[in-house]
């Protein structure tokens, strides 16, 4: 709200009598003052009703203020927490301390201990420990501690930890403690849990989630699904808590965010239920019969079937893409709702970020779901046998290597090599290649370069001592480049197969010695040398699922490397053009925000609050982006 607007007094009257936070800013957007109120309308109007009676500091603040912003909260205690957070974030010049002088409770963690505790305190000392707060009440701290115990298995007992106790307590068996007292967990592993607690309390929950997602992926790849499931549940619990605690603004809307992940004959929908601006629940739904169906059609079927039995249809449904017959679906949902329903595909902003999170959850859930299907060793062996039979291989393809190329119009071109051993990903042998010799758009030449670099050393060693090369399961790690694969897959069609054959011919490698094939995505056809016709594995077969998964993994690995290089190049080119942004500030910006997009989306005041940054420099940076 513009304080200079003639209609501003009417806007004041329209403010809700609700708890919340208000911010006064100057003409440049700098936050001058942050306050909280049990009833926003009464508190904000008091600044203008008896201005002469206000403290001189507040009068000076009002003389500089140009805009007023309000944020609703559910309670005065939540407003207090948000006020404190905003003061720390914006460092407004007219906020010197909290306006309530009682002793607030804190959470204390002493990292000087071998096995730190996480506990309630009202005493803040300069003793080297970490303190988090202040919290609005003792009840708030206790609820937070209860939440932390549900999310992170740290100890709550105060007894000395020797690691020699004969058995753990009950909390270990209900997954509320990692039992350092018995030696079940090392000091380093326990401190890793405490670091996650600290990051969560610092508001760096995304870093915690990234670490847990990585651990979950690693557990799934090791087929340790019990641990992967625990980590998945922990991730889901943290995400739900984050969204439940999110403070919303005046626009408190109801909506569902629907994401879709699809791979072959399997698909997974993820629905985030947003009520009054907060995430109250999330549910995954497995879909069948999606093979060869475009995502628009899959999404249309899901929406109609899901909302037919739903007890509530929101006025807004956020989607990654519009379904087939979107208008008819919207009309059908509107009839069920008894009011209009909008199907929205966001391109930017908060809804896009929320949709991205839902999509990520759907993709991770689908990957774990697919991994479960392959968990059974018999299914793996069956898959390998089906591939061997379909391609007429001389031996079971115990080690399969797959290659893919990723670039945009020839820029930041990269190649990937992924390795599956016994039907399972062997990440230690994954390799990335930055294409060096190819200019412009030529996927075939890029593939030739990658394969040349991979197999040239193997070919040289083979020429010197062919008798040493016999298929083996998994040679020692240091011999990774010298391993003979049982099958090489290239992502693409006949042209990619021909490019790979050229490399093998130049290197003197026979496709009888190293079997070779290409997997074309359009019809999931496998092409082999000296055969004009493609090979189709049965739809829904374990063999098809395995080669699809290997191909998709190679594609993911290549894309992630390409995106990293492109982001690095774009970040370098943009940040380096802004006067005043040197190497030190550039590192600070990237370390704080993580990416160019995050810097672009950040408020100018947040950027200006960083050490060494100024408001004018932050504004120049935003203009450049």
Q: What's the pLDDT tens digit per position in 355-372?
A: 998 898 899 888 887 777
Strands 20-25, 67-72: pairing is antiparallel
Among the three residues 314, 348, 373, which one is the final residue of a domain in this structure? 373
What mean pLDDT, rounded, does the chain reach? 82
Among the three residues 318, 345, 373, which one is the final residue of a domain in this structure? 373
Task: Verify that 411 and 539 share a domain, yes or no.
Answer: yes
* Contact indicator for 185, 200 with CB cutoff of 8 Å: no
Going by the DSSP 8-state scheme, the letter that residue 410 receives in this structure is T
Among the three residues 339, 373, 407, which one is the final residue of a domain in this structure? 373
In the predicted structure, residue 342 carries a pLDDT above the cut 60: yes
Give domain status of residue 346, yes or no.
yes
For the record, the structure tokens of 226 come out as: 């019990």
Distance of alpha carbon 466 from the chain centroid: 47
In the predicted structure, residue 551 carries a pLDDT above the cut 90: yes
What is the distance between the alpha carbons of residues 504 and 430, in angstroms, rounded to a whole number? 20
* Contact indicator for 86, 21 with CB cutoff of 8 Å: yes
pLDDT greater at residue 346 or residue 151 = 346
Q: What CATH number did the domain enclosing 591 receive? A: 1.10.150.20
292: left (phi over 0), alpha (psi -120 to 50) or beta: left
Task: Verify that 13 and 129 share a domain, yes or no.
Answer: no
* Contact indicator for 537, 524 with CB cutoff of 8 Å: yes
Strands 255-263, 316-318: pairing is parallel
**pTM more than 0.85:** no
pLDDT at position 104 is 54
Mean pLDDT of 422-427: 90
Q: How many residues are present in the chain?
A: 625
For the record, the structure tokens of 591 come out as: 């370390």
Task: Verify that 44 and 160 share a domain, yes or no.
Answer: no
Full residue range of the structural domain in which residue 352 is found: 255-373
Give domain status of residue 240, yes or no.
no
Give domain status of residue 461, yes or no.
yes
Strands 399-408, 411-421: pairing is antiparallel
Task: Verify that 404 and 480 share a domain, yes or no.
Answer: yes
Task: Verify that 516 and 399 share a domain, yes or no.
Answer: yes
Residues 6 or more apart from 47 whose CB is under 8 A from it?
A: 54, 58, 62
Give domain status of residue 232, yes or no.
no
pLDDT at position 475 is 41
Task: Verify that 450 and 478 share a domain, yes or no.
Answer: yes
Task: Verify that 385 and 294 share a domain, yes or no.
Answer: no
Compute CA distances 327 → 152, 256, 284, whole Å. Answer: 46, 18, 25
Q: What CATH number did the domain enclosing 21 receive? A: 3.40.1440.10
Residues 6 or more apart from 497 whose CB is under 8 A from it?
A: 490, 516, 517, 518, 527, 528, 529
What is the distance between the alpha carbons of residues 328 and 321, in angstroms, rounded to a whole number? 15
Compute CA distances 322 → 120, 331, 464, 500, whole Å. Answer: 49, 14, 59, 39
Which pLDDT band holds residue 622 (cuts at 50, 70, 90)?
A: confident
Task: Verify that 66 and 124 share a domain, yes or no.
Answer: no
Give domain status of residue 229, yes or no.
no
What is the distance between the alpha carbons of residues 49 and 64, in angstroms, rounded to a whole number? 18
Give domain status of residue 595, yes or no.
yes
DSSP string, 70-85: EEE-SSHHHHHHHHHH
For the record, the structure tokens of 86 come out as: 């905003």
Radius of gyration (C-alpha) of the chain in whole angstroms: 29
Q: How many domains does the chain have?
A: 5
Give domain status of residue 222, yes or no.
no
Write out pLDDT tens, residues 14-62. Answer: 888 889 889 999 988 888 988 888 889 888 888 888 777 888 878 888 8
Share of the chain above pLDDT 70, in %: 88
DSSP string, 114-161: SS--EEEES---SSS-EEE---S-HHHHHHHHHHHHHHS------S--
Task: Verify that 551 and 432 share a domain, yes or no.
Answer: yes
Task: Verify that 19 and 125 share a domain, yes or no.
Answer: no
Q: What CATH number did the domain enclosing 422 receive? A: 3.30.420.340
Write out pLDDT tens, residues 183-196. Answer: 888 888 889 899 88
What is the distance between the alpha carbons of residues 575 and 567, in angstroms, rounded to a whole number? 12
What is the distance between the alpha carbons of residues 108 and 131, in angstroms, rounded to a whole number? 5
What is the distance between the alpha carbons of residues 237 and 442, in angstroms, rounded to a whole number? 46
Give domain status of residue 50, yes or no.
yes
pLDDT at position 95 is 67
Task: Verify that 392 and 450 share a domain, yes or no.
Answer: yes
For the record, the structure tokens of 258 come out as: 């629907």
Most confident range, picked from 53-67, 245-259, 370-384: 53-67
Task: Verify that 444 and 557 share a domain, yes or no.
Answer: yes
Count of other CB atoms within 10 angstroms of residue 376: 12
Residues 6 or more apart from 514 whose CB is under 8 A from it?
A: 455, 484, 485, 488, 504
* Contact indicator for 144, 78 with CB cutoff of 8 Å: no
Residues 6 or more apart from 347 whose CB is under 8 A from it?
A: none
């Amino acid at each position: 709200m513009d304080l200079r607007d003639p209609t501003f007094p009417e806007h004041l009257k329209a403010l809700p009598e609700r708890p919340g936070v208000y911010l006064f800013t100057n003409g440049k957007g700098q936050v001058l003052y942050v306050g909280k109120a049990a009833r926003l309308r009464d508190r904000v109007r008091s600044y203008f009703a008896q201005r002469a009676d206000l403290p001189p500091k507040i009068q000076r603040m009002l003389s500089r203020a140009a805009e007023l912003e309000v944020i609703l909260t559910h309670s005065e205690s939540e407003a207090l927490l948000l006020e404190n957070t905003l003061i720390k974030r914006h460092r407004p010049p007219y906020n010197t301390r909290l306006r309530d002088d009682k002793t607030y409770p804190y959470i204390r963690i002493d990292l000087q201990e071998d096995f730190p505790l996480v506990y309630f305190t009202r005493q803040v000392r300069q003793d080297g420990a970490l303190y988090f707060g202040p919290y609005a009440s003792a009840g708030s701290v206790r609820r937070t501690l209860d939440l932390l115990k549900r999310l992170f298995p740290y100890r709550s007992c105060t007894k000395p930890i020797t690691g020699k106790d004969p058995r753990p307590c009950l909390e270990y068996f209900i997954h509320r403690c990692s039992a350092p007292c018995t030696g079940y967990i090392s000091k380093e592993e326990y401190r890793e849990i405490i670091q996650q607690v600290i990051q969560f309390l610092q508001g760096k929950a995304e870093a915690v989630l990234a670490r847990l997602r990585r651990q979950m992926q690693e557990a799934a790849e090791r087929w340790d699904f019990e641990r992967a499931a625990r980590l998945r549940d922990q991730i889901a619990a943290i995400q739900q808590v984050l969204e439940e605690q999110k403070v919303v603004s005046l626009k408190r809307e109801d909506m569902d965010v629907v994401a879709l992940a699809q791979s072959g004959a399997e698909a997974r929908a993820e629905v985030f239920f947003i009520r009054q601006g907060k995430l109250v629940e999330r549910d995954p739904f497995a879909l069948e019969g999606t093979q060869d169906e475009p995502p628009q059609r899959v999404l249309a079927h899901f929406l109609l079937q899901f909302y037919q039995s739903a007890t509530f249809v929101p006025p807004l449904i956020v989607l990654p893409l519009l379904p087939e017959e979107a208008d008819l679906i919207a009309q059908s949902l509107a009839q069920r709702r008894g009011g209009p329903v909008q199907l929205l595909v966001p391109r930017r902003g908060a809804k896009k970020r929320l949709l991205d999170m839902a999509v990520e959850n759907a993709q991770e859930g689908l990957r774990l779901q697919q991994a479960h299907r392959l968990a059974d060793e018999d299914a793996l062996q069956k898959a390998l046998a089906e591939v061997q039979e379909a391609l007429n291989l001389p031996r079971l393809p115990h080690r399969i290597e797959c290659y893919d190329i990723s670039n945009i119009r020839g820029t930041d071109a990269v190649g990937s090599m992924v390795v599956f051993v016994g039907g399972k990903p062997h990440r230690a042998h994954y390799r990335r290649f930055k294409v060096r010799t190819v200019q412009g758009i030529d996927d075939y030449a890029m593939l030739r370069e990658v394969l040349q670099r991979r197999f040239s050393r193997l070919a040289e060693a083979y020429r010197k001592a062919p008798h040493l090369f016999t298929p083996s399961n998994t040679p020692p790690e240091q011999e990774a480049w010298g391993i003979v694969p049982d099958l090489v897959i290239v992502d693409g069609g006949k042209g990619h197969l021909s490019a790979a054959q050229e490399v093998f011919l130049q290197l003197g490698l026979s496709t009888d010695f190293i079997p070779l094939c290409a997997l074309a995505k359009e019809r999931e056809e496998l092409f082999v040398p000296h055969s004009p016709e493609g090979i189709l594995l049965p739809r829904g077969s374990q063999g098809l699922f395995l080669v699809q998964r290997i191909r998709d993994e190679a594609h993911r690995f290549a894309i992630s490397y390409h995106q990293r290089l492109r982001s690095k190049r774009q970040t370098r080119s943009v940040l380096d053009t802004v006067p005043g942004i040197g190497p030190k500030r550039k590192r600070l910006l990237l370390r704080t925000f993580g990416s160019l997009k995050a810097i672009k989306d950040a408020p100018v005041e947040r950027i200006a609050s960083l050490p060494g940054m100024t408001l004018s420099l932050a504004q120049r940076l935003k203009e450049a982006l």
